[in-house]
């Protein structure tokens, strides 16, 4: 006995106009900019409406929002030109405002794409959306089919972007702090004064806001840090502080106050690789490595200011700046029984106590 299948519901075609969903307007503006960047001669309202699946009225609104001007003001980023006398107008980005094209070979594109996991720490912020959009455009370049010619170019087939990559350390999750991330980045980029409240423990009174000049934003070992100076009595301190984003709350960027970046500031003086993000320090510590890993130690540049000495029996001693004792301890312990601290005595004692406590848990 045959059965009659119920009629299938027809799929509804997307309606033109403003679609529902978070960040939709932001994505539409990005798409509009991409379309106009690809068409230097410009596009008519009809062509834009068809491409973006919008009504002409919505296209006009998006054009104004992309330009960043009010309805009664003249366009600054965009302009319109006649296709013919009395004909429709073509909208385009002004030639002087167009982004400069960067020519990338396929190998270069894949090298950039290999770093995309480094930006996961920014997820949840508008900055991450901007980076992700740029990487998506680079991916389009990398995946465009063409015949490779000579050794200077590669074919890039078989999903190379999934087989060539950099793996960063596990990142802290800042997904709930996207607004703080964006405020911090804007302050660093535009040299704007920001204010924040230091994080306090539960039950402690709320801290007062601290004015701060953010000089640099550093992602180190999956954690975000900011380098800058506190403002005391209306004047920036001469001491540069290294703060983690975790220690800062309620970040707000000033719309009117700016500062000048000190000419003597150099971010490389505060970034110490495995040894943390901190002010430069004169204090040093010495680690001795067993001969069995000497080649591995000598092959690495642990710090620009490292000093290495090799004993006749093959053991290696490395002298390094002691900028952050916690980072120094973590570094020594990461080598297991192949490394021991020689000096300073207080660091030797602390590492010994940590190892003793750890050993007691296995006894």
**Which among 146, 166, 168, 167 has a CA at the least distance from the CA of 157?**
146
Alpha carbon 132 to its chain's center? 10
What does the pLDDT look like over 347-359, one tens digit per residue?
Answer: 999 999 999 999 9
pLDDT of residue 101: 60
The b-or-e profile of 82-117 (16+ CB within 10 A means b, else e) is eeeeeeeebbbbeeeeeeeeeeeebeebbeebbebe
Angle between helices 24-38 and 56-67 (to 10 degrees): 90
pLDDT of residue 1: 47
The two structure tokens encoding residue 276 = 């943390």
- If you average pLDDT over residues 185-195, what whole number do you get? 95
At 78, give phi and psi (nearest 5°).
Answer: -105, 165
| Nearest-angstrom CA–CA distance, 250 and 177 | 10
What is the pTM (predicted TM-score) of this model? 0.69
Mean of pLDDT over the chain: 87
Task: Using alpha carbons only, give the angle 60, 64, 66 rounded to the nearest 5 degrees.
Answer: 115
| Nearest-angstrom CA–CA distance, 288 and 341 | 6
Residues 119, 132 contacting (CB under 8 angstroms) = yes
pLDDT of residue 290: 97
Sorting pLDDT into bands at 50, 70 and 90, what band is 250? Answer: very high
23, pLDDT greater than 50: no
Residue 285 burial (C-beta neighbours within 10 Å; 0-12, 13-18, 19+): buried
Residues 297, 289 contacting (CB under 8 angstroms) = yes
H-helix segments, 144-270 = 178-190
Helices (H) and strands (E) in the chain, counts: 9, 12
Strand partners, 219: 224
List Cβ neighbours of 117 (8 Å cut-off, separation of 6 or more). Answer: 165, 166, 167, 168
2, pLDDT greater than 50: no
- If you average pLDDT over residues 285-295, what whole number do you get? 97
Residues 172, 240 contacting (CB under 8 angstroms) = no
Domains, the chain, ranges and CATH?
Answer: 24-97 (1.10.10.10), 106-162 (no CATH), 175-269 (2.30.30), 276-360 (3.30.70)
| Nearest-angstrom CA–CA distance, 186 and 133 | 18
Sorting pLDDT into bands at 50, 70 and 90, what band is 112? Answer: very high
The two structure tokens encoding residue 285 = 């510590």
Residues 327, 275 contacting (CB under 8 angstroms) = yes
- If you average pLDDT over residues 76-101, what whole number do you get? 81
Q: Helix, strand, or coil here: 202? A: coil
């Amino acid at each position: 006995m045959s059965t009659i299948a119920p009629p299938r519901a027809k799929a509804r075609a997307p309606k033109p106009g403003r679609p529902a969903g978070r960040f939709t307007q932001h994505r539409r503006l990005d798409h509009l900019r991409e379309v106009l960047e690809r068409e230097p001669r410009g596009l008519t309202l009809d062509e834009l409406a068809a491409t973006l699946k919008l009504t002409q009225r919505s296209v006009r609104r998006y054009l104004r929002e992309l330009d960043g001007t009010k309805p009664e003001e003249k366009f600054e980023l965009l302009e319109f030109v006649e296709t013919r006398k009395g004909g429709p107008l073509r909208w385009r980005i002004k030639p002087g405002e167009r982004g400069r094209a960067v020519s990338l070979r396929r190998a270069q594109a894949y090298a950039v794409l290999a770093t995309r996991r480094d930006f996961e720490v920014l997820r949840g912020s508008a900055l991450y959306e901007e980076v992700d959009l740029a990487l998506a455009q680079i991916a389009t370049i990398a995946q465009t089919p063409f015949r490779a010619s000579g050794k200077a170019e590669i074919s890039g087939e078989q999903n190379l972007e999934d087989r060539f990559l950099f793996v960063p350390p596990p990142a802290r999750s800042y997904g709930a702090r996207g607004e703080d991330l964006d405020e911090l980045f804007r302050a660093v980029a535009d040299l704007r004064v920001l204010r924040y409240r230091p994080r306090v423990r539960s039950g402690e009174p709320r801290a007062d806001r601290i004015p701060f000049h953010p000089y640099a934003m550093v992602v180190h070992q999956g954690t975000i840090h900011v380098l800058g100076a506190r403002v005391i009595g209306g004047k920036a301190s001469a001491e540069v502080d290294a703060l983690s984003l975790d220690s800062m709350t309620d970040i707000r960027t000033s719309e009117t106050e700016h500062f000048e970046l000190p000419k003597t500031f150099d971010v490389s003086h505060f970034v110490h690789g495995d040894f943390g993000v901190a002010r430069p320090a004169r204090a040093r510590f010495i680690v001795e490595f067993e001969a069995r890993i000497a080649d591995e130690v000598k092959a690495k540049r642990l710090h620009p200011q490292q000093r290495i000495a090799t004993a006749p029996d093959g053991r290696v001693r490395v002298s390094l700046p002691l900028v952050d004792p916690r980072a120094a301890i973590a570094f020594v312990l990461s080598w297991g029984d192949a490394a021991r601290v020689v000096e300073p005595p207080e660091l030797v004692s602390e590492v010994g106590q940590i190892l003793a406590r750890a050993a007691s848990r296995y006894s």
